[in-house]
Amino acid sequence: MANIKTGIEWTDRTWNPTTGCNKVSPGCTYCYAEALTKRFPKNFPNGFNLTLHHERLEQPRRWRIPSRIFVNSMSDLFHEEVPISFLQEVFEVIRQTPWHVYQILTKRHERLLELAPLLSWPENVWMGVSVEKQDYVTRIDYLKQVSAHVRFLSCEPLLGALQLDLKGIDWVIVGGESGQKYRPLKIEWVQDIREQCKDAGVAFFFKQVGGRTPKAGGRLLEGQIWDQMPEAWKHHQQQWEGYSVKATRKTDQAGMIASVQR
Ligand code: SF4
């Protein structure tokens, strides 16, 4: 259960240089990562304890097709036990693999802001925070102070109506909770966020209604699928369309960048 093709609609694959976490807010209550860890204990010998996987750092270099990569579906990259030196290594891999886009999502907005000046922010980092309830909109203020090229919000599992200040935000993902104990979504919460996105000119993505299974409620909102992506994604696709990474890499002067070819 390391780094896999994924069913998450807004990304192409996941990369988990760390696994394990601790719960920090109501969105964590039925944490999907924790449930997977319990279901597949052989794949997670350290359980849900924060674990660094140095051996996974090189993986994205081997993924030859330009992809959207969700960083840490099984953890939170800005967890307090992830050392800054490890974070810097992760960001360096990102910088050296510009054919991918990396979608990093955190609930640890304070540590994100604290460490952001110590990291380089290449264009292919999309940085996001989770906002599941109005009590956590302050995470957006922290995100806005980070020099990411694309900033996004994940309002999933959406647990209440939200009033969002979307200035400086490029993308909003909304989704209802799934699982046996799911907390039901009110469709008017979603409609309201979609209207706020429309008014602010922000891309809106509706992932799922939710229910006992992820697909139980479907993905339709007023009979329509909402799959909008940030403008930066279109530009990225245009830039890297038709490119694939050579299996044998050359290095540049700094010994870092993989060569690409059509
Ligand atoms: S921050 Fe994410 S990975 Fe960590 S416990 Fe909460 S939902 Fe799970």
Q: What is the pLDDT of residues 122-177, one digit of tens each?
A: 999 999 999 999 999 999 999 999 999 999 999 999 999 999 999 999 999 999 99
pTM: 0.92
Single-letter amino acid, residue 184 = P
The class that CATH gives domain 13-261 is alpha beta
- For 260, the enclosing helix (H) or strand (E) is strand 260-261
In the structure encoding, which two tokens stand for residue 128, read together? 């996001």
**Domain segments of the chain: what residues?**
13-261
What is the CA 11 to chain-centroid distance, rounded?
A: 8
> Average pLDDT of 212-227?
95
Bridge partner residues of 172 (DSSP): 153, 204
| Pocket of ligand 1 from Cβ distances under 6 Å | 21, 23-24, 27-28, 31, 33-34, 75-76, 107
pLDDT at 246: 63
At 178-202, the pLDDT tens digits run 999 999 999 999 999 999 999 999 9
CA distance 90 to 214: 30
Pocket residue to mutate for ligand 1, from 16, 18, 34, 77, most atoms within 8 A of Cβ: 34
Residue located via tokens 């906002």: 131
| Token pair 């990093």: residue | 104
* Neighbouring-strand partners of residue 130: 154
Residue 260's pLDDT is what?
A: 39
Structure tokens at 191: 């409609």
Query: Of 22, 23, 36, 158, which is best to mutate to test ligand 1, by the most ligand atoms within 8 angstroms of its C-beta?
Result: 23
